[in-house]
Amino acid sequence: MLVNRLSFFRGTPTLIASRLMSSKISANQAMISKPVQEVDKEMYDILRMERERQKHSITLIPSENFTSKSVMELLGSEMQNKYSEGYPGRRYYGGNQFIDMAESLCQKRALSLYNLDPAQWGVNVQPLSGAPANLYTYSAIMNTDDRLMGLDLPHGGHLSHGYQLPSGTKISYISKYFQTMPYHIDSQTGLIDYESLSKTSKLFRPKVIVAGASAYARIMDCKRFREISDACGAYLMFDMAHISGLVAAGVIPSPFEYSDIVTTTTHKSLRGPRGAMIFYRKGVRKVSEKGKKIMYDLDSKINFSVFPGHQGGPHNHTISALAVALKQAATPEFKEYQASVITNAKHFGEELIKRGFNLVSGGTDTHLILINLSNLGIDGARLETILEKINIAANKNTVPNDKSALFPSGLRVGTPAMTTRGFGVDEFTQVAEFMSRAVKLAIGLKSQESPDAADNRSKLANFRQLCEESTQVQELSAQVYEWVGKYPVPGEL
Ligand code: DSN
């Protein structure tokens, strides 16, 4: 019966229309079976243009990736139709027998991928994305006004680790809900200043220290973070969003050994759907001086914070897609991919240095490179703009001592996305060359800017206009478009 009804909708539009006339299928039912190309031309055209942009751009944004065809299949699947507030076996809606299977499978694969014993660790796979996952975690273990320390945003941290301006203006609401104190990187070495964190945390006595970053190219010293957290009695939460694929593949050290809680998004180096996970410890937290065991109570607190504390129905299509991504991440092919991500990043960094770029911390151990452009006579906003015009997507980024996040002196690039598309070291040499040419063009165009532009914003608008009019920019744009278009995107092979 089901098969008969489905086959009814197959065929040319004319055939379907004639079947419709002689049946009881309503126009509404017919509409919901049509592809977007027929239903919504306007949206379809936008999708087509974005597909083309992705295929013909060099994606250097280190938090982006191209997820797999199979993950995309699940994201567009019937799993999204179901409400399932609650957890496997404990739902507030009927009909969840298969959704339970999907979520349990996802949890099992998440623990197994990071070699975690289910007796010692649990995982919540329902958070909708990384910033919410961090908020849910803080709320689970802190009261409002409890204290938290995270890497300062201009030093490579993330908004969800708290951010307020030196004037006291709270930019991230995490800094409104909780008392936040930043720690910093050493501006000489570009590395986290553990010494200063150690001293400040003893005075500030935070309940949570957040390790992890959005723009930090080096391996963080988790053991050191653990010692610092223990010395002030804080939980150590590691936000491994950027590096979770590298950790899964074992190509960089894992933060699990030293952390109480690990959060991650799932769509960056891990290459899954856009979502997040919270891993938390179970069992004994510490033994008191009198020999009494103090147990972790994160399990119930974190799960309660996610639902019902903050979220409603989980996105089951995302959780199902994540289960697939986690299976892929456990393969030898994925390990090889992650090893190439790092080889490519190191090589790319060296090629950039050869062309006069300064890298914060002098290089990279990971997938990410942070460039300090101060010596080149161009800023991150202008370079991002001209790169976009030549089909290279990168992002401007603050470096230490920057005052403005909109007009910073840095540019952040990374290798996960283009390594997925098959780039190796030769291709990244070519990308460094494109970037070097872009810098030279940008410096020339900047010198042609109108002296009448009143502020940075109008200067940038003027610069963008000059880029659009430049035939050299147009030629480079066409060259990049053609060149990168030869590298397949997932699903094309
Ligand atoms: N916005 C992400 C990044 O680009 O690093 C972090 O969530």
Mind giving me the DSSP string for 197-253? HHHHHHHH--SEEEE--SS--S---HHHHHHHHHHHT-EEEEE-GGGHHHHHHTSS-
In degrees and rounded to multiples of 5, residue 296 shows phi and psi of -70, 145
Closest residue by CA, ligand 1 atom 4: 63
What integer pLDDT is reported at residue 24 of this predicted model? Answer: 77
Report the nearest atom of ligand 1 relative to the CA of 265.
7
What kind of fold does domain 78-330 have according to CATH?
A: Aspartate Aminotransferase; domain 2 (3.40.640)
Q: Among 3.90.1150.10, 3.40.50.300, 3.30.365.10, 3.30.230.20, what is the CATH number of 340-486?
A: 3.90.1150.10
Please state, as a whole number, how many other Cβ atoms lie within 10 Å of the Cβ of residue 2.
6
Cα 454 to the center of its chain, rounded Å: 35
Nearest CA, atom 3, ligand 1: 63
Closest C-alpha residue for ligand 1 atom 2: 63
pLDDT of residue 3: 45
pLDDT for the residue 2 = 45
CA of 108 to the centre of ligand 1 (A): 26
Q: Which residues are catalytic?
A: 83, 85, 239, 265, 268, 274
What number does the ligand 1 atom closest to the CA of 160 have? 7
Which residues' Cβ are closer than 6 Å to ligand 1?
Answer: 63, 130, 158, 214, 241
Stretches where the chain sits below pLDDT 70 are 1-23
The Cα 225–Cα 81 span in angstroms is: 42
Residue 61 CA: nearest ligand 1 atom is: 4
Ligand 1 centroid – CA 67 distance (Å):
16
Domain limits of the chain? 78-330, 340-486
Residue 273 CA to ligand 1 centre (angstroms): 14
CA of 158 to the centre of ligand 1 (A): 7
CA separation for the pair 312, 297 (Å, rounded) = 23
Q: 360: left (phi > 0), else alpha (psi -120 to 50), else beta?
A: beta
Q: What pLDDT shows up at residue 23?
A: 67
**The pLDDT of residue 1:** 42
Q: How does pLDDT run across 12-58, given as a tens digit for each residue?
A: 666 666 665 666 789 899 899 999 999 999 999 999 999 999 999 99
Phi first, then psi, for residue 185 (nearest 5°) are -100, 155
CA dihedral 341, 342, 347, 352 (to 10 degrees): 90
pLDDT in tens, 124-165: 999 999 999 999 999 999 999 899 999 999 999 999 999 999
**Residues linked to residue 210 through DSSP beta bridges, in sequence order:** 237
Element (H, E) at 276: strand 276-281
What was the pLDDT predicted at 19?
64
Residue 13 pLDDT: 62
The torsion angles phi and psi of 160, rounded to 5 degrees, stand at: -75, 0
What radius of gyration, in Å, describes the C-alpha atoms of the chain?
A: 25
CB of 175 closer than 8 Å to CB of 163: yes
